[in-house]
Amino acid sequence: MIKFLLYPFAILFGIITSLRNRLYDLRLLKSKEFDVPIISVGNITIGGTGKTPHVEYLISLLKDKFEVVALSRGYKRKSKGFIEVQVDSEVTAVGDEPLQIKKKFPEAIVAVCENRVIGVERILGSSQDLKIPDVIVLDDAFQHRRISPGINILLIDYNRPLKKDSLLPAGRLRESSSQIKRANVIIFTKCSGEITPIMRRIMQKEVHLKPYQELYFTTIHYNRIIPVFSGNQLHDELLSEKKFAVLVVTGIASPLLIYKYVEKIASHMETVTFPDHHHYSKEDICTISRKFEKINSEKKIILTTEKDTMHFKSISNLPDEFKESLYYITVQVKFLGNEGNMFNKKILNYVGENKSNRELHKRKNKLQS
């Protein structure tokens, strides 16, 4: 009933977004191009498609050969303007996902700016010669049409078909699914297993795959379980033998996959769910602690996500028992079949072929100085 009542607003939202896209298509609104390779990673739905793990995949792929910059909006940060993220930055100042990326790749430049054009200009204009990037990765930028990326990657949750969804606020779509045409790389994420040739053809039809578009499939692979704070390392084999009860605490858009994984490795599972990008309060810690205490098991842990860890580490005076019990699980993107090699080659070739533009920016900066 509520969804039905929201449909008029969804229609209005669709008219507005369609008009905006049409103005860009007609070049009445301008998209800016830069002389460095730009890769955009985004989605057409709100949250939960795995943008951050895919951005991390790109950084890991590129960082040994190129100077990489990741630029994000810094969603739900309590600051404004351009900020270069440091390893010791406050999560409230830069956002949880940019801070997570910086901690994982301290050698990469990570920045936040709500205006991506200004952000790219600041990166290119304020950098020293050795810091001018070979490539800029834009996080969550599919709808940010003020910049024209060289590669536009669109992520779609394999488990949530777009044809069954609706525009905001009645559904989760940020814009019409017809705008898939703007992507030149489409990745179905969170796949549970190999994709058969028949299923691949079905998915190609669902997105109306164009000749200029490439389609890939990825899955989320869970890695080590690590203590959030210094302490005893939990041996992963103890969880694989279902000897521990686990309280899963998440502040992410779609925790279903982690629930399914923990169910396989835990002797018992309880959950506490918060909204995406949640800033944990002292009251939240009390709620989590009370639920944890009620779990009747001598061997038990609190398990959270790497993104949530950024928030927990910012809280002062956490109880020692809470800190000793708190662990997080790392995730990694894996392409299905041999698609990873094809994707890697595409990205590396694109950046490598355009690397000479870095020298162009060096010369421009020297002439302007």
| pLDDT on residue 125 | 84
| pLDDT on residue 6 | 85
Question: Do 21-220+336-364 and 228-331 share a fold?
Answer: yes
Q: Rounded CA gap, 146 and 152, in Å?
A: 13
Q: What is the pLDDT of residues 40-59, one digit of tens each?
A: 999 999 988 999 999 999 99
Whether the pLDDT of residue 368 is over 70: the answer is: no
Q: Which residue has the higher pLDDT, 249 or 241?
A: 249
CB atoms within 10 A of CB 20: 14
| pLDDT on residue 130 | 42
| pLDDT on residue 45 | 94
Whether the pLDDT of residue 169 is over 90: the answer is: yes
Q: Rounded CA gap, 280 and 304, in Å?
A: 12
Amino acid in the structure at residue 137: V
- Sheet of 135-139: strand order equals 83-84, 109-112, 68-72, 135-139, 38-43, 151-157, 185-189, 214-227, 326-335, 300-305, 245-250, 268-273
| pLDDT on residue 121 | 93
Provide the strand spans (E) within 177-267.
Answer: 185-189, 214-227, 245-250
The band of 296, judged by pLDDT with boundaries at 50, 70 and 90, is very high
Q: Specify whether the CB–CB gap between 153 and 350 falls below 8 A.
A: no
Q: Rounded CA gap, 154 and 175, in Å?
A: 13
| pLDDT on residue 359 | 59
| pLDDT on residue 361 | 54
Domain map (residue ranges) of the chain: 21-220+336-364, 228-331
| pLDDT on residue 356 | 60
Of 179, 110, 116, nearest to 147 by C-alpha is 116
Lookup: tokens for 68: 């990489």
Pairing of strands 185-189, 245-250: unpaired
Q: What is the dihedral of CA 13, 215, 40, 36, to 10 degrees?
A: -140
Q: Specify whether the CB–CB gap between 357 and 135 falls below 8 A.
A: no
Whether the pLDDT of residue 333 is over 50: the answer is: yes
Q: Where does 21-220+336-364 sit in CATH, by number?
A: 3.40.50.300
CA atoms within 13 A on the CB side of 321: 8
Q: Where does 228-331 sit in CATH, by number?
A: 3.40.50
Q: Specify whether the CB–CB gap between 189 and 200 falls below 8 A.
A: no
Q: What is the pLDDT of residues 133-155, one digit of tens each?
A: 999 999 999 999 999 999 999 99
Of 132, 147, 53, nearest to 100 by C-alpha is 53
| pLDDT on residue 17 | 97
Q: Specify whether the CB–CB gap between 69 and 136 falls below 8 A.
A: yes
User: What is the average pLDDT value for the chain, to the nearest integer?
Assistant: 92
Q: How far is the CA of 140 from the CAs of 155, 162, 217, 263, in angstroms? A: 10, 18, 19, 30
Q: How far is the CA of 28 from the CAs of 10, 19, 25, 148, 178, in angstroms? A: 25, 11, 8, 14, 20
- Stretch 206-215: mean pLDDT: 96
Whether the pLDDT of residue 129 is over 60: the answer is: no
Q: What is the pLDDT of residues 299-324, one digit of tens each?
A: 999 999 999 999 999 999 999 999 99
Pairing of strands 151-157, 135-139: unpaired
Q: Rounded CA gap, 326 and 97, in Å?
A: 19
Q: Specify whether the CB–CB gap between 114 and 74 falls below 8 A.
A: yes
| pLDDT on residue 364 | 56
